[in-house]
Amino acid sequence: MTTINDLLTLTSDWLFSTVLVWLLIGAGAYFTIRTHGLQLRHVHAILSAVRGSRDGAHGGITSFQAFAVGLACRVGTGNIVGVALALILGGPGAVLWMWVVAVVGTATAFSESTLAQVFKVRRADGTFRGGPAHYIARGLGLPALGAVFAIVFMIANGLAMPMVQANAIAAALQAAQGIAPWATALLVVALVAPVLLGGLRTMARVAEYLAPIMALAYLLLVAGILILHPAAALQALISIFEGAFGLRPGLAGLAGGLVAALLNGVRRGLFSNEAGLGGAACAAGSATVTHPVKQGFIQAFGVVVDTLLICTATALAILVAGPAVFRPGVTVADAAGSLTQDAIASLVGEWSRWPMAMLIVVLAYTTIIGAFSYAQVCVDYLTDKPWAARGLQVAAVACAGVGAVQKLTTVWTLADVLLGLGAILNLVALVLLSRWVLGALRDWEAQRGRASQSAPGDEPLFYADSPHLPAELEGDAWPRRS
């Protein structure tokens, strides 16, 4: 097992430290250029995408529910522990590069979610399924490769992810209150079983409320800290810009200087907002919307919430706490696991450790729900047999219970490798199918241009035979004009 784990660790480090970093940045830059700066030209549409997104599911899941599922996966323990690690290794300047990556990543998130909508399929129960497996199969004409993606993502999100997130819950509860892992295992099973066994609609309904509420609660907590410490908050912002451009060498991370800030900020930003990794596209393709671009905008908004708001909140809380808990170049990487909790406790009191532990528990719980929904989409791509979906649901619940009581180094690394391989397949498909993304965007822009002149309240409607598309879409997911 040691040899296997070493090999998996080597592969994971190579994928996430080299290959995927450049592929994700390249894809973001590519779609930013091809869409003529979509995230700037349509910033109002992105920021207002949530408005009205809870309407019109017609038996499926709403646009907002799909957004909430993606948010449940994006906003997790990585926003707390991962950002702390980025600060330790890259200094305050890493935060600015996280922002840059988020701006670029909105174009990728928009593209994969729009594409998932374009190539989604209608199921017999009135719901839709879409995502990388579907647009690889239907857009590229490679159903076997779509199946490879589905299998990889199904294992990583449906089996491995419940284990590692349950393990995080057990660690948080044991550290905060000394709760035994076996007791946590029973709790986790009791919490996840009703939701996972309820299917995609149940998962979407739970995520619709839980994920946004927890994200908002965390933001309000940090906002209160910033209001009570205005001078320290201003100094924290100044240190971010100084560290990002190497204006104060003392703010560099352990690896030293501008390069450390850039690399660690880029990595944290890329893997926190998940733009281009393919997961959010699985959620996006399940929504019922009037136009693919509408879901593209709302999933792009998820990147804004994750990185520009949640990750920034974590970074500012740590920086405002100052030398009492964090010193650039001095604080060691092993402190990342509790750094955010230590910072908040130093600012508002020791009483906050238990609420912060509960926050981590809920974030890990919502990540289980969101990740499994991705796996559900993948198993539905592979087969429409009810027993297959039920078998995966039962296995996921069992994995969550086991994960709470076992050390999972190998499982965690395996999940990383599988997600990395799936991301490579997704990014290649995105670039090859970019004409469909641009066609859908042109269709939406053309209709919005006409509506602004005639009927400003009209929503753009998408048709399978739109003249802006490279070809006519097959299937019954989208209507035709004629």
Please tell me the pTM assigned to this model: 0.85
pLDDT at 271: 62
Residue 122's H or E segment, with its range, is strand 121-122
Residues 6+ away with beta carbon under 8 Å from 471: none
pLDDT at 83 exceeding the cut of 60: yes
Whether the per-residue pLDDT at 255 is higher than 50: the answer is no
Identify the band that residue 254 occupies on the pLDDT scale cut at 50, 70 and 90: very low
Token pair of 117 as six digits: 């909508």
- Residue 44: CB atoms within 10 A of its CB come to 9
Contact 109, 275 (CB under 8 A): yes
Lowest mean pLDDT across 17-31, 146-160, 238-252, 397-411: 238-252
292-312 residue pLDDT tens? 999 999 888 888 888 888 888
Place 458 in a pLDDT band, splitting at 50, 70 and 90.
Answer: low
| Paired strand residues for 287 | 61
Residue holding tokens 């499926």?
60
Task: Give the residue-averaged pLDDT of 69-88.
Answer: 75
Exposure letters 120-131 (e unless 16+ CB within 10 A, then b): bbebeeebbbbb
Average pLDDT of span 313-332: 82
Q: What is the mean pLDDT of residues 183-201?
A: 78
Please check the confidence at residue 478 and state whether its pLDDT lies above 70. Answer: yes
User: Superfamily for 63-443?
Assistant: Amino acid/polyamine transporter I (1.20.1740.10)
Cβ atoms 370, 193 nearer than 8 A: no
| pLDDT category of residue 52 using cuts at 50, 70 and 90 | low
Amino acid in the structure at residue 51: R
Categorize the per-residue pLDDT at 183 as very low, low, confident or very high, splitting at 50, 70 and 90: confident
pLDDT tens-place string over residues 3-17: 777 787 788 777 777
Mean pLDDT for 455-466 is 76
Residue, of 182 and 337, whose pLDDT is higher: 182
Instruction: Give the three-class secondary structure for 129.
Output: strand
- Joined together, the tokens standing for residue 281 give 């596209």
Q: What is the pLDDT of residue 253?
A: 46
Greater pLDDT, 36 or 22 = 36
Most confident of 179-188, 307-316, 362-371, 435-444: 435-444
Q: Report the C-alpha gap between 47 and 50 in whole angstroms.
A: 7
- The pLDDT value recorded for residue 170 is 79
pLDDT averaged over every residue in the chain? 81
Whole-number pLDDT of residue 54: 59
Considering only CA atoms, give the Rg of the chain.
22
